[in-house]
Structure 1
Amino acid sequence: MASGKKALFATVMAASVAGMPHMLPAPAYADDYADLLDVLRAKGSLTRHEYDTLLAKHVHHAAQAAEPRAGRPTHVASSGARSGSAHIAHGAESGYEPGIRFDAGASEGDASMRAEDAATRAEASARSAQAAAAALNSGEFVRVAKYVPGKGLTFKAGPININLSGFVNGFYSYNSPAGGRPVAGGVSSGSSGFDSSAVRNGLLPAGFILKMDTVQQGMDISAVLGMYPGLDNAKPSAFNANSGGSPVGLGTAGIDLRQVYMTFGNKDIGTFKIGRDLALFASDAIMNDATLLSVGSTGSNSAPGNTSLGRIGVGYVYADWIPQISYTSPKVGGFQGSVGIFQPLDEFGYADATNPDSTASHFSAGSSQHSSPMVQGRAVYDFSLSDLKVHIWASFLIQHMQALTSQTISANQHVSTMVEAGDIGTKLTYGPFEGVAYYYRGSGLGTTGLFFDGVADNGRKRTSEGYYVQAAYHATKKLKIVGSYGVSNLYLASGENMLAEQGSDVGLVRRNQSEVGAAYYQMTDWLTVIGEYAHTSSAAHGGNKESDNTASGGVMLMF
């Protein structure tokens, strides 16, 4: 580019010389040369810097030529200098940057003035940038952070981040009972005798989560509100919005306000949480369960509630959303621990609630007094071995059950017991393959839900255990195939008889299990299309058995 400009300039100068008389230099007028520079600048052949430099040199040379010389008319030289100076003045008035002046014979001063002007403009630009940054952080402007699929929308109002995320799902489920006799506390619908169709939610209802966070005095602070409405009519009872539904006209859906909490802390001291959120014990079991995004076992499909069961009660006990004051440590070398105190929960006779002849016998004791909180803890460890990613977790739960009551225990006996439970699990990821293995065991823990049928009618604890295994293969970037199998067992307490012999033909659940196969196709960043088959069976201590089959298809939207 530079050589081209030099060639152009040389050509112009050659053309000027060609018109001169042979060997006799004719006078060159300063304004002609300046006009030439103007033309070259207008056509883009010269940059502003090149134009200024050449013009400054021209003025300097014109001034020198204006000095009286022997044999040369003074008026010619002086008129040329005056013309060049006039052109410079005209050029400065018609577009030069403020503060730049050309002084013939003082080119170094001109460079100094240019440098000073550039520094002034840079300082003004820096002040403008600082003012703009201060305005953005003042709260007078709302910005939108870059959208990441699945992470919601984040708005920045000054120092506060406001994030809105959520999901919506809907499935058509067809449940076909395979027959059998009823099981108290079982999760199969096999003994119902009728096929059922439902348009319903899966294991997840819909969810809308609002989170606000900021940093104050080096502390990360956040507040979260999570609302989880269902599709079907609600029929509140013992489980409130999560009870079985009511498929009659003029019904309304239930809203489960399961999340409302705050956190504060930082990466150096860890994080404290106060409020209602997912508990620690068995939380990894449900979060790694593939049926979290589908249906799994339906529970009641003829009158669906807010959610299905997924693998709850057929592989793990539901972690639940419980008021808590908990602490999570900083992550050190892949290890992180959490511990907290939680609102204590009552022992609950789920088998009695599901027994159609509950007046004839009662299976479990209840409780209503708690002088101490529930305590839960959790530890996770993440590491990699070459291309293999490993996630390991373990958790525990302890709660003192007081004032147990039943048909056998009188109110003045003051019977109490200590419930303990623990679990361990792992998730392995290797290329397109994923595997999950999980196991739990408890004393007084019960099955399906926390403390459901955990204590027998005689006040003694029942032992329970369960597990599930799950394999997934990403056939393509969009298609994932999953298969899983899970079992939950509940054993009789010491001194407990076969309760089916106590005047009822319904026995206490001994075993719930299910097999699930599903395909997940991610159509877009938001939409996932899901097809699933599940077989669920229940068996009682008295010998009763029942099973059912469910086919489900639907869509999950997450933003």
Structure 2
Amino acid sequence: MKKIFLLGALAAAGTQSAQAVDIKAGDWTVNVGGIVNAYYTQVSCSGDAVGGLALAGKGLGCGGESNRTTIGNGLLPNGLVTSASSRQGDYDVKALIGIYNATATDSAIAANSGVDVRQAYFTFGNAEMGTVKLGRDNGIFGANPIFGDMTLIGSGAPVQATQRGRVTLGHIGAGYSYVGYYGQIAYSAPKSTSGIGFDAALVSPVSDTPIVAAATYSAKNSPQVQAQVTYAADGFKGWLGAKSQKFSSTTPGVNDFTMSAVELGLSYQAGAAGLLANFQGGKGLGVLSDADQGDVKAKNYFVQATYKPTEKLKLGLGYGISKNDDNTVGTGGLKSNANLTAGMYYSLTSAISLVGEVGQTRSKGFNGGEAKMNGVSVGGIIFF
């Protein structure tokens, strides 16, 4: 069976093989599968108060406390994914819907009814023309680092303010920007014998969602554009991508601006050892979502090394840092977020992985202040 690809057209989340059920119905093959996970996370926060989206600060990192515990999702939510595929005439056709939900909330009696339909799209194409996708799915920009991050099946930065009612952050905002989910019309070129690939998408424009402040911009008549060129051969993969969107100001005294960002990265797998490195830079990247800090230039760096001493056990170390170049109102004084995570990932069965991670997240302010969040995460995930 294929590796499960969740959080983006079922993107490879680890070493597990999906045990999804295939049902034949006439010309269609219906596939039902999903994921469930839970992690005990314990964090402690110390240091200075740092403004803005300081992931290591007491407000976000520890949910307003000095120490906090949650048993909830890791970087992946729980999910049920259903797809149907068929060969119709000259075209391969597929439709997919992914429905997701969180494990932990702040109530033992309130209905846990928050449903996140991240994916709902269909595709058509063939080996000659490539593939066209229409619907809602993850973006192209930022997909490689998050889906290649070892903490995708763990927790990474166990930020408590997001874990309750949603998920932890991995290296989101501390190494790479979130891949995002959008309405889109996308095209993937046919697979080349030379290993070169090309993907592009017109994406429904989004407004800023600054989390700790009021929204400043709106999306109007210009779509967001994302595109990427890739090369893959003999365990190596490299990519060069970009995205752009105009943000229109809704606040007097604040100018319109155009988000423009580039991404460059590579991964290499040589036997038991793996390496991933990624860079993102530009204007309007945001911490947790597009332009959530406004018209700010920023850079994201992420590196990771993994090694499998046995067939079932993988060890890894990942470090990421996101830096703001400009001390603007939108940053709230935040200069950088960084996270270092060490993890162990054990395949108990072909479907179940047990995970243990330790790490530290640091947030620095332009005023010289620094906040620290130490965290530990222990739990597991099942793919079915």
> TM > 0.5 between the two?
yes
Amino acid at match of 2:250: T
1:158 aligned residue (13, 26, 32): 26
SS across alignment from 2:103? strand
Amino acid at match of 2:241: S
For the Cα contact (< 8 Å) 2:209–2:289, is it kept in 1? no
Q: What are the superposed Cα offsets for residues 85-117 of structure 1, whole Å, 9 maximum, x if unpaired? A: xxxxxxxxxxxxxxxxxxxxxxxxxxxxxxxxx
Match of 2:380 in 1: 555
Match of 2:11 in 1: none
Match of 2:103 in 1: 231
For the Cα contact (< 8 Å) 1:314–1:448, is it kept in 2? no
Amino acid at match of 1:368: S
CA distance in 2 between counterparts of 1:200 and 1:289 reads 19
Q: Which has the larger radius of gyration?
A: 1
**2:264 counterpart of 1:424:** yes
**How far apart are residue 543 of structure 1 and its match?**
2.7
For the Cα contact (< 8 Å) 2:94–2:124, is it kept in 1? yes
**How far apart are residue 510 of structure 1 and its match?**
0.9
Match of 1:529 in 2: 354
Q: What are the superposed Cα offsets for residues 424-464 of structure 1, whole Å, 9 maximum, x if unpaired? A: 11111111000000000011222332211032xxxxxx211
**2:274 counterpart of 1:434:** yes
Aligned CA RMSD, in angstroms, stands at 2.0
CA separation of 1:190 and 1:269: change in aligned 2, threshold 3 A: same
For the Cα contact (< 8 Å) 1:446–1:490, is it kept in 2? no
Per the normalisation by structure 2, the TM-score is 0.90
Instruction: Determine which structure has greater relative contact order: mean sequence separation of CA pairs < 8 Å that are 6+ residues apart, divided by chain length.
Output: 2
2:17 aligned residue (143, 146, 149): 149
**How far apart are residue 370 of structure 1 and its match?**
1.3
CA distance in 1 between counterparts of 2:367 and 2:50 reads 11
CA distance in 2 between counterparts of 1:405 and 1:301 reads 28
Match of 2:125 in 1: 265
Paired residues for 1:80-95 under 5 Å: none
Match of 2:195 in 1: 334
2:237 aligned residue (391, 415, 429): 391
**How far apart are residue 185 of structure 1 and its match?**
1.2
Q: What are the superposed Cα offsets for residues 402-437 of structure 1, whole Å, 9 maximum, x if unpaired? A: 2x133634xxxxx42222101011111111000000
Paired residues for 1:404-423 under 5 Å: 404-406=249-251, 408-409=253-254, 415-423=255-263
Please state which structure has a larger fraction of its residues in helix.
Answer: 1
Structure 2: gaps of 5 or more residues: 1-15
Match of 2:54 in 1: 186
CA separation of 1:515 and 1:416: change in aligned 2, threshold 3 A: same
Match of 1:204 in 2: 76
**2:249 counterpart of 1:381:** no
**2:212 counterpart of 1:344:** no
Point out the more displaced range, 483-492 or 174-183.
174-183
SS across alignment from 1:232? coil
How many residues align? The count is 364
Match of 1:289 in 2: 149
1:478 aligned residue (312, 316, 331): 312
Match of 2:291 in 1: 451
CA distance in 1 between counterparts of 2:83 and 2:163 reads 33
Match of 1:170 in 2: 38
SS across alignment from 1:184? coil
CA distance in 2 between counterparts of 1:173 and 1:193 reads 14
Q: What are the superposed Cα offsets for residues 313-355 of structure 1, whole Å, 9 maximum, x if unpaired? A: 00000011100001100011211101110010113334426xx
Could you tell me the percent identity over the aligned residues?
A: 28
Match of 2:10 in 1: none
Match of 2:335 in 1: 510
SS across alignment from 1:224? strand
**How far apart are residue 372 of structure 1 and its match?**
1.0
